[in-house]
Amino acid sequence: MQLEHPFDPIFNEKSSILILGTFPSVKSREYGFYYGHPRNRFWKIIASITNTSIIPETIANKKRMLLKNGIALSDVLQSCDIEGSSDVSIKNAVPMNLSKILDNSNVKRIYANGEKAHQIFIKHLYKSTGREIIKLPSTSPANAKYNIEKLLSEWKKIIT
């Protein structure tokens, strides 16, 4: 069954960094926002690298933290067939149109949250955007080979 991406991208004209995931997990779709799985380490990582003292819990506070720090957030897929939350199961991928973000922000660097987001960007979006993307390790709880310290070490590249 083809699922449509349920959230708007987060960005404003001051956004200089764009982070792209793949497609929202089941938990994120239930929660109604990006990285809604309670064990996903995304919000902890972003709070840490932006020196935000409290990890935001509400959607409004998460948006505020991103925008305050010049970070835009979206995914590489507008729609796809997916089994549960498994990126490996993705079929019939329809790429996200990133022009709304790229044309109305100051994005200089694009980062992929994980291997699959990176692969899809290269395959479907590199040519249309003309932009490079930097692959970071996934913050998903399924990425067990990266503990929080190792993730932080890699994700700090965003802010430097």
Domains in the chain, ordered, with CATH? 2-158 (3.40.470.10)
pLDDT, residue 57, reads 95
Residue 8's SS3 state is coil
| HSE-CB of 28 using CA atoms within 13 angstroms | 22
Question: In whole angstroms, what is the distance from residue 31 CA to residue 49 CA?
Answer: 24
Q: Report yes or no: 113 and 46 within 8 Å, Cβ to Cβ.
A: no
Residue 136: how many other CB atoms lie within 10 Å: 21
pLDDT, residue 86, reads 85
pLDDT of the chain, 160 residues: tens digit per residue: 799 999 999 999 999 999 999 999 999 999 999 999 999 999 999 999 999 999 999 999 999 999 999 999 999 999 999 998 888 889 999 999 999 999 999 999 999 999 999 999 999 999 999 999 999 999 999 899 999 999 999 999 998 6
Token pair listed for 53: 């003292």
What pTM value is reported for the model?
0.96
Token pair listed for 28: 């994120």
Q: Report yes or no: 80 and 93 within 8 Å, Cβ to Cβ.
A: yes
Q: Going by C-beta distance under 8 Å and a sequence separation of 6 or more, which residues neighbour residue 33?
A: 7, 59, 62
pLDDT, residue 88, reads 84
Q: Going by C-beta distance under 8 Å and a sequence separation of 6 or more, which residues neighbour residue 68?
A: 50
